[in-house]
């Protein structure tokens, strides 16, 4: 693995460049797909059909058409806005979530960068997102945007705690922050012989840990029921209110990229990453990518499913949930997992 990566790194800048934008391509294609899927899921859950016309089969090209429309749109900056910050914010947002993909092993043969502090890096760089949202909210010079931005700041900062603590409980088991190594540890058959050797099956507390992680991830990616920064029925559009055209599109892209990112992190930490669920069957770098994305997409689907089922929390309830339930629970869980680890290993 290591050798492969090293040899590949030394094979010239062009190849490196092509390879290093693989996540970008994946994000773009995925976003097109995910937005279409979201519409379809929403539609069918509401006994509708969703997009049906564009592109022929079940409106598969709808998002592409929307994208083309957005690119053509006028780039409007409000007169009283802070132009520089206003224009920068979407890029920073996207860069933050795109940058995080670098540490995710998409398959056994591909990882953007073999950093030893992978998880740490991801947690750190995704916090940039809240900076960009605050920038957007502040620069828009709109009170709704500002309220949305303030909510984001509070939300992201709070929910980072349970996220990090649950991740930490996984790290106790793996003993490494490098996600490639974390994944490699989960290959083969593990517990009871028939369940895959995934961390979620490692101990009962891990299931709880995953739950906590998933809830926190929902909050971090601002999805319903935690979509307070946007909450279109209260804050009009939150920090996105004044954005239009491709800048708004970038925020949208960021939201979906974030969903995928957190799903992939979840898949890597709890569901064996690119490992096949059938042991060595259907294994290999390409199959690995398939499994990885599949697991990610399943989690993304669950996020969509929740979105079209649940109402939205209020900002104080959101904080309540985090500080009164998630954080204590995740700490208790951390301790329990540590004990489990001490006793059984």
Partner 1 sequence: MATLKEKSPEVTVTPPVSAGNGLKTQEMVVNMGPQHPSTHGVLRVQLTLDGEIVVSAVPHIGYLHRCFEKHCEAMNDYNKVVPYVDRMDYVAAMNNEHGYALAMERMMGIEVNDRVEHIRVIMAELQRIASHLLAVGTFGLDIGAFTPFLHCFIEREKILDIFEKASGARLLYNYIWIGGLMNDVPADFKKDTTDFIASFRPQIKELNDLLSHNKIFVDRTANVGVLPDKVAINYGVSGPSLRGSGVKWDLRRDDPYSIYDKFDFDVIVGEGKMGTLGDCWDRYIVRVWEMEESLKIIEQALDSMPDEGDVHESIPKKVRPPAGEIYCRTETPRGELGYYIISDKSTSPYRVKARAPSFVNLSVLPAISVGAMVADMVAIIGSVDIVLGEVDR
Partner 2 sequence: MVKLLSDTYFTFRSIFTGMGITWRHLFTKSVTVQYPAQRDVLPERVRLKLDVNMDDCIGCRLCERACPVDCITIGTTKSTDDDDLGETSTGHKKKLWVDQFDIDMAKCCYCELCVHPCPTDCITMVEDYEYSSYDRNDLILSFSDMTPEQIEEVQAKLEREEEEKRKKKEEARAAKEKAKAEGGKDEAGGGAASSGDTDADAEKAARRAEREAKRAARKAEREGKDAGESSGAAGESGGSAAKSDDTDADKEARRAEREAKRAARKAEREAKKKSEE
* Residue 201, both tokens: 């099956």
* Residue 232, both tokens: 């279109």
231 binds partner 1 (CB under 8 A): yes
| Interface with partner 1: number of residues (CB under 8 A) | 28
CB of 340 to partner 2, least distance (A): 22
91 binds partner 2 (CB under 8 A): no
At residue 235, φ and ψ (nearest 5 deg) are -100, 25
Q: Give the nearer residue to partner 1 in terms of CB position, either 171 or 306.
A: 306
CB of 43 to partner 2, least distance (A): 7
Query: Is residue 326 a contact partner of residue 212, using CB atoms and an 8 Å limit?
Result: yes
- Torsion angle (degrees, nearest 10) of CA 333, 339, 341, 345: -160
Residue 258 contact, options partner 2, partner 1, none, Cβ 5-8 Å cut-off depending on partner type: none
Q: Is 110 left (phi over 0), alpha (psi -120 to 50) or beta?
A: beta
Of 61, 219, 235, 261, the residue at the interface with partner 1 (CB under 8 A) is 235
- Residues 270 and 195: their CA atoms lie apart, in Å, by 13
CB of 85 to partner 1, least distance (A): 20
Of 51, 196, 312, 340, the residue at the interface with partner 1 (CB under 8 A) is 312
Q: Is the peptide bond before 238 cis (omega within 30 degrees of 0)?
A: no
At residue 71, φ and ψ (nearest 5 deg) are -65, -35
Q: Give the nearer residue to partner 2 in terms of CB position, either 19 or 308.
A: 308
Q: Is 115 helix (H, G, I), strand (E, B) or coil?
A: coil
Q: What is the DSSP letter of 196?
A: B
Among residues 287, 15, 19, 263, the alpha carbon closest in space to that of 122 is found at: 263
Residue 52 contact, options partner 2, partner 1, none, Cβ 5-8 Å cut-off depending on partner type: partner 2
236 binds partner 1 (CB under 8 A): yes
69 binds partner 2 (CB under 8 A): no
The stretch near partner 2 (CB under 8 A) out of 72-80, 132-140, 262-270, 303-311 is 303-311
313 binds partner 1 (CB under 8 A): yes
Residue by residue, DSSP assigns 311-322 as: ----HHHHHHII
45 binds partner 2 (CB under 8 A): yes
What residue ranges bind partner 2 (CB under 8 A)? Answer: 41, 43-49, 52, 305-306, 308-310
What residue ranges bind partner 1 (CB under 8 A)? Answer: 42, 45-48, 143-144, 147, 224-225, 227-228, 231-236, 308-317
């Amino acid at each position: 693995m290591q050798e492969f990566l090293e040899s590949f790194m030394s094979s010239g800048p062009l190849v490196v460049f092509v390879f290093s934008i693989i996540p970008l391509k994946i994000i773009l294609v995925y976003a097109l797909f995910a937005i279409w899927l979201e519409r379809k899921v929403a539609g069918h859950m509401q006994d509708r059909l969703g997009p049906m016309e564009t592109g022929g089969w079940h409106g598969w090209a709808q998002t592409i058409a929307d994208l083309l429309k957005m690119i053509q749109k006028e780039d409007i900056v409000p007169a009283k806005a802070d132009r520089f910050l206003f224009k920068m914010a979407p890029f920073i947002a996207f860069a933050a979530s795109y940058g995080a993909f670098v540490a995710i092993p998409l398959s056994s043969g591909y990882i953007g960068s073999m950093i030893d502090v992978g998880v740490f890096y991801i947690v750190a760089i995704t916090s940039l997102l809240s900076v960009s949202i605050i920038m957007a909210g502040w620069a828009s010079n709109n009170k709704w945007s500002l309220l949305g931005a303030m909510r984001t700041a509070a939300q992201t900062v709070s929910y980072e705690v349970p996220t990090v603590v649950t991740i930490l409980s996984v790290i106790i088991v793996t003993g490494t922050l490098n996600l490639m190594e974390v994944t490699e540890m989960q290959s083969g058959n593990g517990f009871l012989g028939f369940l895959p050797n995934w961390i979620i099956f490692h101990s009962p507390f891990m299931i709880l840990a995953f739950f906590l992680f998933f809830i926190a991830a929902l909050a971090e990616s601002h999805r319903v029921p935690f979509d307070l920064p946007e909450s279109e029925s209260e804050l009009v559009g939150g920090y996105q209110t004044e954005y239009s055209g491709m800048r708004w599109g970038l925020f949208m892209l960021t939201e979906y990229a974030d969903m995928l990112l957190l799903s992939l992190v979840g898949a890597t930490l709890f569901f064996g990453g690119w490992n096949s669920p059938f042991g060595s069957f259907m294994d290999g770098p390409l199959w690995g990518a398939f499994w990885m994305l599949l697991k990610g997409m399943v989690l993304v689907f669950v996020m969509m499913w929740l979105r079209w089922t649940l109402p939205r929390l209020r900002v104080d309830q959101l904080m309540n949930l985090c500080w009164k339930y998630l954080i204590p629970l995740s700490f208790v869980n951390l301790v329990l997992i540590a004990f489990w680890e001490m006793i059984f290993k």
